Structure 1
Amino acid sequence: MRPPPLAALLRRLSSHPSESPAIHASLIKSSSLSSPIPATALVTAYANAGLPGAASRLFDEMPARDAVAWNALLACLVRHARPAAAAGAFRGMAAAGFAPTATTLCTMAKACAASRALRPGRQVHARSVLACQGDVILATALVDLYMSCGLVEEAMRLSMCTDCPKDVALYNAVISGCVENGWFREAFLMLGRTELNVIALTCALTACSATANLVYGMQVHCMTLRCGSTSGSIICNALIDMYAKCGRTMAARMVFDQMACRSVVSWSSMIGAYSHHGHGKAALDLFERMERAVPVVLPNAVTFLAVLSACAKSGLVDEGRAKLHLMKQKYGINPGPEHYACFIDLLGHAGQINEAWDLYCSFRGNQSELSSSICVAMLNACKANMDMVRGNKVAMHLLEVDPKYPGSHVLISNFHAAAGQWSESGEARRIILDKGLRKEVASSLISSVG
């Protein structure tokens, strides 16, 4: 039986990368892999199928390689989070006598951004100035590189000074980079210079959420209405989060109710909004509505964390216990440390310290499952119930689990202070100074933008 024609195999590779091993065998039978074109197509297919190891082995076996083959290998390694291997391949490409193309440099800029490798990133930038100046895709990758390394001013200068025609992707890279680095004012200014799109608007809403800036958030909401982007779940989820962070749960619910299609993120975000503002009953009602939703949307671990948090903030012990059971029995989701910490917090503030202690002790039997969040929740429960004996034991456990985190020592100091144990409280504070630990600087949700 004759093997399929080469063109048909290559088309099959492009549309069905999961069949790469079988097509690889056919290409070997037809002796087609002596040419770099089908071999390169197979390298790319292995990468698309999630098999970077197979792609690398095939590349090593290629009898002839060209610049396109090297670029395919680099793209594969960067895509699968292997920046060190990509750097080695880049050096190998140069040693083989191939000059980097714009595609090569763009891929390497992405690798440097992923590993926050500034020095080799600058080398990529220097090469791009010499060889590929004016390429907007490469300029966008370099902007993302500098943003990833926290060099916002340098990234913005590059975006303004590049002589390539600026497109939406370049502006989006600047806006998202500014938001990630906390340069919210600059993000809003840049938003006014670009064509409105989902990515830019979502980044702007993220900035509004981070600063609790309702004024700008409502302006961005108006922009989404003007460009017709409110039908998308990504924008709507960002709007729900923004209004929730700004304390406007009714506005968040309005956006939620107007959504044509709600994902698990949408339901979880709205339940979380009610939870954040202490509306426990509303959160539970919405969760029950989610269970009846058509089409079916299954809750995930994030959904249940929002539900348990709502129960904790509203003192709904029976409901919280039922939801923890439902999570395991009906949906098959194993609760994580954060779920148990939330339930211990609920029990502690409801005065049910014995049940909280029994749950805590079940983790003490398995040290690998005992997290700092569970210890903190139990310590706060002991503090709320003035249980000093158990609290002192938990404080020791917390130091065993997370000895270098200054917040642990602060919590222990506050626990002793609440019990009037001033010498122990002072000792916990002194440990912070003696070990050179630094507590995170507090920040305010009051907006500084505007």
Structure 2
Amino acid sequence: MKRSRSVISRLVAHAAASPSPPPTDASHLDALRLFRRAHRRGAPLAADAFPPLLSACRSFPSLGRQAHALMVKSAADLDPVPATALLDVYSRCGLLRYALDVFDGMPVRDSIAWNAFISCLVRHGLPADAISAFRAMAVDGGSPFTGFTLCSVLKACASMRAVRLGKQIHARVIGDGNDSLVMATALIDFYSGCGMIQEAFDVFNRLNREKDVAIYNALISACFQNRRFKEAFSVLGLVRPNEITLTCALSACSDCLSLSYGKQVHCVMVRHGFDSDTTLCNAIVDMYAKCGELTSGRISFEQIHRKNVVSWTTMISAYGSHGRGVEAWKLFKRMQEEEISGHVSPNAVTFLSVLSACSHSGLVDEGRECLFAMQSKHGIDPGPEHYACFIYLLSGAAMLNACKANMDLKRGEQMARHLLSLDPDNPGSYVLLANFYAACGQWEGAEYLRRMMKDRGLKKEAGNSQLELPVAIEI
């Protein structure tokens, strides 16, 4: 019996193992088929057979619960190793409640189980709970902290800006003599997230070992995120950048509307031969669009050799956000024409970008055609966000403008409440209603809505005009 268990475990692990390149859905499917065949033949199930099976289930989330049921039947869920693997699968598949239930049901929790639990909470945007779990782990006492534990908690500290706890962890790292690149990278990310760029540089400069590209990326990212552009380009000149470095740099330039630095990143990208990378080219298009350089964005879009759905959607969205709905519609029609020739097809995000562009420009007929084409031609069911955008296009602005012209406050408020219930996270609806209240002399209502926007972290993306002095930096 022991031999049978060992054989099943080895076979499934071999089928699901991570080759180079990374495993595909096909390799995971092979592992699942092998496990099912062995199980149907009556081979006994042991706890060590489940971790490789669960690894394969990452590509097929619906099968994770079936594996869980088998674990319960064979009592493998009481073993911390397969239970931790199950927790990780649920976490990676977005099933937080199931992951928490698995952790709560563990009779014994080792360091690996606690690490997986804390990482799960961080992954799902629950940094305060992750920190509470870290403290509970300390009280537990039987599970010593590892470097992985501290790295996960540092991410939570950065999200919460929990500077005091982060510094305490840093002190512990120094006391333990842990000068690994992974830990140093986590500390740089923590200090960057808290806006403490000098402390991030101190971690980098005090590291007494050969630095890899990951830690350079972390420091470059920290500089860009904190608008320390000169330092970012200075560090960039010390290492050959990779796709992660440049994508981070472009994202920061987009967020800061820094066109001159964005252009320099574009030059670095071309110089190092990344101009054929579709993901980076998409980021270039987005950067130019957000900085108001639509012409440069369109040129960059046309130069992409292998356009994917993100390429098309980014350019369509760029036109829409600048109120150029006609150009967005024409580009969408061209995308559909090229689709016939075997090129990329639009997805739900593409259709939402088109509807938004039509809404901003009042293209009612085009918006109607877009919504109908989603299901009839592409088999994509419109979601609430698509209908909300279309309803806004048909009636939102027209109705409120009519109410404003007639000073009909009662009907205007009814229409506005309906719009906000359809799309509560759309800042345009709040601005539209606030302007309506202001036009009707209801200043308190207008101020209340703008406070609501601020409290919810909503911002209306407005047009901007920005002049930057060109800054030349050697790279």
Same-fold call, TM cutoff 0.5: yes
Amino acid in structure 2 at the alignment position of 1:301? L
* Rounded Cα–Cα distance in structure 2 between residues aligned with 1:153 and 1:360: 52
Q: Is 1:239 aligned to 2:260, yes or no?
A: no
Structural mapping, 1:262-411, within 5 Å: 262-274=307-319, 281-294=326-339, 295-298=344-347, 299-309=350-360, 311=361, 317=362, 320-331=363-374, 332=382, 334=385, 363-364=415-416, 366=418, 368-369=420-421, 373-374=428-429, 376-377=431-432, 391-393=439-441, 395=443, 397-402=445-450
Give 3-state SS (helix, strand or coil) of 2:240's partner: coil
Tell me if structure 1 keeps the 8 A contact 2:301–2:311: yes
How far has the Cα of 1:134 moved from its partner? 1.0
Amino acid in structure 1 at the alignment position of 2:142? G
How far has the Cα of 1:103 moved from its partner? 1.2
- 1:23 alignment counterpart: 67
Of 168, 181, 188, 1:143 maps to 188
- 2:51 alignment counterpart: 10
Aligned CA distance change for structure 1 residues 297 and 130 (closer, same or farther; 3 Å):
same
Render the CA deviation track for 1:234-259: whole Å, top value 9, x for unaligned: 21122113333555434322221222
* Rounded Cα–Cα distance in structure 1 between residues aligned with 2:146 and 2:336: 53
Structural mapping, 1:5-154, within 5 Å: 5-17=46-58, 18=61, 19-95=63-139, 96-154=141-199
* Rounded Cα–Cα distance in structure 1 between residues aligned with 2:315 and 2:72: 55
Of 218, 227, 230, 1:173 maps to 218
* Rounded Cα–Cα distance in structure 2 between residues aligned with 1:212 and 1:377: 25
Gaps of 5+ in 2: 1-41, 375-381, 455-462
Tell me if structure 1 keeps the 8 A contact 2:87–2:103: yes
Q: Give me the identity figure in percent.
A: 35
Render the CA deviation track for 1:29-56: whole Å, top value 9, x for unaligned: 4444554333333333333333333333
* Rounded Cα–Cα distance in structure 2 between residues aligned with 1:169 and 1:354: 58
- 2:273 alignment counterpart: 228
Give 3-state SS (helix, strand or coil) of 2:179's partner: coil
Tell me if structure 2 keeps the 8 A contact 1:243–1:249: yes
Aligned CA distance change for structure 1 residues 396 and 185 (closer, same or farther; 3 Å):
same
- TM-score of the superposition, structure 1-length normalised? 0.74
RMSD after superposition: 4.0
Aligned CA distance change for structure 1 residues 116 and 168 (closer, same or farther; 3 Å):
same
Tell me if structure 1 keeps the 8 A contact 2:320–2:354: no
Give 3-state SS (helix, strand or coil) of 1:300's partner: helix
* Rounded Cα–Cα distance in structure 2 between residues aligned with 1:330 and 1:360: 32
How far has the Cα of 1:230 moved from its partner? 2.4
Aligned CA distance change for structure 1 residues 140 and 357 (closer, same or farther; 3 Å):
farther
Aligned CA distance change for structure 1 residues 368 and 244 (closer, same or farther; 3 Å):
closer
* Rounded Cα–Cα distance in structure 2 between residues aligned with 1:128 and 1:47: 27
* Rounded Cα–Cα distance in structure 1 between residues aligned with 2:268 and 2:314: 22
How far has the Cα of 1:93 moved from its partner? 2.3
Render the CA deviation track for 1:349-394: whole Å, top value 9, x for unaligned: x9998699899566246385497734644676x8xxxxxx992256
Gaps of 5+ in 1: 312-316, 383-388, 407-441
Tell me if structure 2 keeps the 8 A contact 1:78–1:110: yes
* Rounded Cα–Cα distance in structure 1 between residues aligned with 2:254 and 2:338: 28
Give 3-state SS (helix, strand or coil) of 1:203's partner: helix
User: How many residues of Structure 1 are paired with residues of Structure 2 in the alignment?
Assistant: 401
Larger displacement relative to structure 2 (265-274 or 145-154): 265-274
